[in-house]
Structure 1
Amino acid sequence: MNGMGGAEAGPAVFAGTVFVLFGGALLLWTGVRVRHRAPVADGAGLVASAALAAFFGAVFLLAGVWCFTRL
Protein backbone atom coordinates (compact mmCIF):
# COMPACT_ATOMS: atom_id res chain seq x y z
CA MET A 1 0.00 0.00 0.00
CA ASN A 2 1.31 3.42 -0.90
CA GLY A 3 0.89 4.78 2.60
CA MET A 4 -2.87 4.49 2.37
CA GLY A 5 -4.41 2.82 5.37
CA GLY A 6 -7.14 0.25 5.20
CA ALA A 7 -9.78 2.80 6.14
CA GLU A 8 -9.01 4.87 3.05
CA ALA A 9 -8.94 1.97 0.59
CA GLY A 10 -12.73 1.52 0.61
CA PRO A 11 -13.57 5.05 -0.56
CA ALA A 12 -10.78 4.91 -3.17
CA VAL A 13 -12.21 1.69 -4.62
CA PHE A 14 -15.73 3.16 -4.63
CA ALA A 15 -14.63 6.43 -6.28
CA GLY A 16 -12.50 4.59 -8.82
CA THR A 17 -15.36 2.28 -9.73
CA VAL A 18 -17.81 5.17 -10.14
CA PHE A 19 -15.37 7.16 -12.28
CA VAL A 20 -14.50 4.20 -14.50
CA LEU A 21 -18.15 3.21 -14.99
CA PHE A 22 -19.27 6.76 -15.74
CA GLY A 23 -16.35 7.51 -18.06
CA GLY A 24 -16.75 4.23 -19.93
CA ALA A 25 -20.50 4.68 -20.27
CA LEU A 26 -20.07 8.26 -21.50
CA LEU A 27 -17.54 7.15 -24.13
CA LEU A 28 -19.76 4.25 -25.22
CA TRP A 29 -22.89 6.44 -25.41
CA THR A 30 -21.01 9.14 -27.35
CA GLY A 31 -19.68 6.57 -29.80
CA VAL A 32 -23.13 5.12 -30.43
CA ARG A 33 -24.66 8.58 -30.92
CA VAL A 34 -21.91 9.61 -33.36
CA ARG A 35 -22.18 6.34 -35.28
CA HIS A 36 -25.92 6.95 -35.79
CA ARG A 37 -25.31 10.61 -36.63
CA ALA A 38 -27.60 11.57 -33.77
CA PRO A 39 -27.00 14.71 -31.71
CA VAL A 40 -24.83 14.17 -28.66
CA ALA A 41 -26.14 17.31 -26.94
CA ASP A 42 -29.29 19.31 -27.65
CA GLY A 43 -28.64 22.50 -29.56
CA ALA A 44 -24.93 21.90 -30.08
CA GLY A 45 -22.98 20.93 -33.17
CA LEU A 46 -22.26 17.25 -33.67
CA VAL A 47 -18.49 17.59 -33.83
CA ALA A 48 -18.11 19.99 -30.90
CA SER A 49 -20.45 18.09 -28.60
CA ALA A 50 -18.93 14.71 -29.50
CA ALA A 51 -15.41 16.02 -28.92
CA LEU A 52 -16.34 17.54 -25.56
CA ALA A 53 -18.20 14.41 -24.41
CA ALA A 54 -15.31 12.19 -25.50
CA PHE A 55 -12.83 14.43 -23.70
CA PHE A 56 -14.75 14.31 -20.43
CA GLY A 57 -15.36 10.56 -20.78
CA ALA A 58 -11.62 10.04 -21.08
CA VAL A 59 -10.95 12.36 -18.13
CA PHE A 60 -13.35 10.40 -15.90
CA LEU A 61 -11.89 7.10 -17.07
CA LEU A 62 -8.36 8.28 -16.26
CA ALA A 63 -9.50 9.63 -12.88
CA GLY A 64 -10.87 6.17 -12.05
CA VAL A 65 -7.64 4.48 -13.08
CA TRP A 66 -5.70 7.01 -10.99
CA CYS A 67 -7.87 6.15 -7.96
CA PHE A 68 -7.04 2.48 -8.40
CA THR A 69 -3.32 3.21 -8.60
CA ARG A 70 -3.52 4.95 -5.22
CA LEU A 71 -4.35 1.65 -3.46
Structure 2
Amino acid sequence: MESGPAVFAGAAFTLFGAGLLLWTSVRTRLREPVADGVSPLAATVLASLFGAAFLAAGIWTLTRP
Protein backbone atom coordinates (compact mmCIF):
# COMPACT_ATOMS: atom_id res chain seq x y z
CA MET A 1 0.00 0.00 0.00
CA GLU A 2 1.19 3.50 -0.82
CA SER A 3 2.29 5.84 1.92
CA GLY A 4 0.51 9.13 2.49
CA PRO A 5 3.22 11.38 1.05
CA ALA A 6 3.56 9.21 -2.08
CA VAL A 7 -0.18 9.40 -2.74
CA PHE A 8 -0.15 13.16 -2.22
CA ALA A 9 2.83 13.65 -4.53
CA GLY A 10 1.35 11.38 -7.19
CA ALA A 11 -1.98 13.17 -7.06
CA ALA A 12 -0.30 16.59 -7.22
CA PHE A 13 1.87 15.63 -10.20
CA THR A 14 -1.06 14.03 -12.01
CA LEU A 15 -3.43 16.95 -11.47
CA PHE A 16 -0.80 19.52 -12.44
CA GLY A 17 0.18 17.64 -15.59
CA ALA A 18 -3.42 17.10 -16.68
CA GLY A 19 -4.27 20.74 -15.94
CA LEU A 20 -1.28 22.01 -17.89
CA LEU A 21 -2.15 19.84 -20.89
CA LEU A 22 -5.79 20.94 -20.77
CA TRP A 23 -4.87 24.62 -20.43
CA THR A 24 -2.35 24.41 -23.27
CA SER A 25 -4.79 22.69 -25.61
CA VAL A 26 -7.55 25.24 -24.89
CA ARG A 27 -5.20 28.19 -25.43
CA THR A 28 -3.91 26.66 -28.66
CA ARG A 29 -7.40 25.87 -29.95
CA LEU A 30 -8.51 29.47 -29.28
CA ARG A 31 -5.33 30.73 -31.01
CA GLU A 32 -4.30 32.65 -27.90
CA PRO A 33 -0.70 32.81 -26.67
CA VAL A 34 0.44 30.09 -24.31
CA ALA A 35 3.17 32.35 -22.89
CA ASP A 36 3.76 36.07 -23.41
CA GLY A 37 6.90 37.13 -25.24
CA VAL A 38 7.80 33.64 -26.47
CA SER A 39 7.46 31.98 -29.85
CA PRO A 40 3.97 30.39 -29.99
CA LEU A 41 5.35 27.11 -31.35
CA ALA A 42 8.09 26.86 -28.72
CA ALA A 43 5.69 27.71 -25.89
CA THR A 44 3.14 25.14 -27.04
CA VAL A 45 5.72 22.39 -27.48
CA LEU A 46 7.44 23.01 -24.15
CA ALA A 47 4.18 23.29 -22.21
CA SER A 48 2.94 20.06 -23.79
CA LEU A 49 6.18 18.24 -23.02
CA PHE A 50 6.21 19.38 -19.40
CA GLY A 51 2.52 18.56 -18.99
CA ALA A 52 3.07 15.06 -20.33
CA ALA A 53 6.16 14.62 -18.14
CA PHE A 54 4.31 15.66 -14.97
CA LEU A 55 1.36 13.45 -15.86
CA ALA A 56 3.66 10.48 -16.45
CA ALA A 57 5.54 11.15 -13.20
CA GLY A 58 2.28 11.26 -11.27
CA ILE A 59 1.01 8.03 -12.78
CA TRP A 60 4.37 6.37 -12.16
CA THR A 61 4.35 7.52 -8.53
CA LEU A 62 0.83 6.20 -7.97
CA THR A 63 1.51 2.80 -9.57
CA ARG A 64 4.78 2.04 -7.77
CA PRO A 65 4.52 -0.96 -5.43
1:45 aligns with 2:45: no
| Structure 2 residue runs without a partner (length 5+) | none
Aligned mates of 1:27, 1:20 — CA distance in 2: 11
Q: Which has the larger radius of gyration?
A: 1
Aligned mates of 1:21, 1:44 — CA distance in 2: 25
Read off the aligned partner of 2:56 and give its amino acid letter. L
Aligned mates of 1:31, 1:55 — CA distance in 2: 12
Query: What TM-score, normalized by structure 2, do the two folds share?
Result: 0.94
Match of residue 16, structure 2, among 18, 22, 30: 22
Question: 2:51: which partner in 1?
Answer: 57
Question: 2:6: which partner in 1?
Answer: 12
The answer to whether the Cα contact below 8 Å between 1:26 and 1:57 also exists between their aligned partners in 2 is yes
| Structure 1 residue runs without a partner (length 5+) | 2-7
Identity fraction in percent: 62
RMSD across aligned C-alpha pairs, in angstroms?
Answer: 1.2
Query: What TM-score, normalized by structure 1, do the two folds share?
Result: 0.86
